[in-house]
Each structure stands twice: as structure tokens, then as C-alpha cells.
Amino acid sequence: MSNTSGARKPRSRSISPLLGSLLQVGDSTADPLALKSWIALDALHRGRGSSNLLTSLCQQLLLSEELCLAGYQKARLSSVREAHAALVRLDWDAKSGIDWKAVGTDYDALRDALFVYDEQLRSAPRTRVRRAQLATASRLLEHLDRNEQR
């Protein structure tokens, strides 16, 4: 009996140019929160999106909006809000049978907002990011409470 597993070549997964540029060797500035968002955007761009990825991006954009309101990249708040609108469109398209895929202006809006988010994570102190996370969670809970009371 021959063992053919030795003849198989290991297959490496290809990564997109976007992720490749983010994962340059020696780049120690990549923030795990930002990297998670870039990976989600890459999956959406490749047509491999899901509701979990959309939810993850939405959470990061809400955090970015909170950081904008706190003064970090405040002038770019409109970019973050345009990305929110793009996520709503993607969600709507997916519910109508179209794939979870970010293309064209929706992809551009999300990419621009993630550049804002990445810069915020680089410039804002960790305590400020945590406060923004708590404020975002508080806003979401208030929204759920209002909807539950109706």
C-alpha cells in the first residue's frame, strides 16, 4: 500500500492585495481591532460576507462614530456615517437574495471609514477607546429597551 499523502503539495491560501499590504513583514503597528475590520471588509469584497461579518463591521463603525464624537477624526464623521449607509444597503441586498458583497461605492465608503477607524485606534488612548466601547454598548442597550417597550 503506497502512501500518496507525501506527494501532495501544501496549498497556501491566497490573500488579497489589501490584506497583503496590511500584513507587511515587520509592521508592528497593526491594531487587532482594526485588523478584524479589514479582514471583514476583505471577505465582503470577495463575496464571502455573512451576517456575522456585517455585524462585526457595524460594531466597529459605531465605535468609530463614538470616537469621532469624542474628537478623534471628528471632521471625518461623514465618512463613517456613509459606511453605515453602505452596510444597510448590503444587508438589504442580502435579504433580497443578492450575495453579501461590497462593491463600488459601498466598498469605497467602507474602506474610507476603516481608514478613519484605523487612525483613531492609533491616536486615541486605550482608555478612550474603552470608554467609546462602553458608550456604544450603552446606546445599543437603550435602543433595545425602547423597542422592547413598544
Share of the chain above pLDDT 90, in %: 49
pLDDT score at 28: 46
Does 110 score more than 90 pLDDT?
A: yes
What is each CA distance from 43 to 9, 28, 74, in whole angstroms?
26, 23, 28
- Amino acid identity, position 17: P
More confident residue, 60 or 33: 60
pLDDT score at 150: 77
Q: Which of 46-55, 68-77, 134-143 has the highest mean pLDDT?
A: 68-77
pLDDT score at 109: 96
How sure is the predictor about 30, in pLDDT bands with cuts at 50, 70 and 90?
low
How sure is the predictor about 119, in pLDDT bands with cuts at 50, 70 and 90?
very high
From CA 109, how far away is CA 87, in angstroms rounded? 9
More confident residue, 29 or 70: 70
Does 29 score more than 80 pLDDT?
A: no
pLDDT score at 34: 85
Helices (H) and strands (E) in the chain, counts: 6, 0
Mean pLDDT over all residues of the chain?
Answer: 83
Does 27 score more than 80 pLDDT?
A: no
Does 42 score more than 60 pLDDT?
A: yes
From CA 60, how far away is CA 39, in angstroms rounded? 12
Share of the chain above pLDDT 70, in %: 78
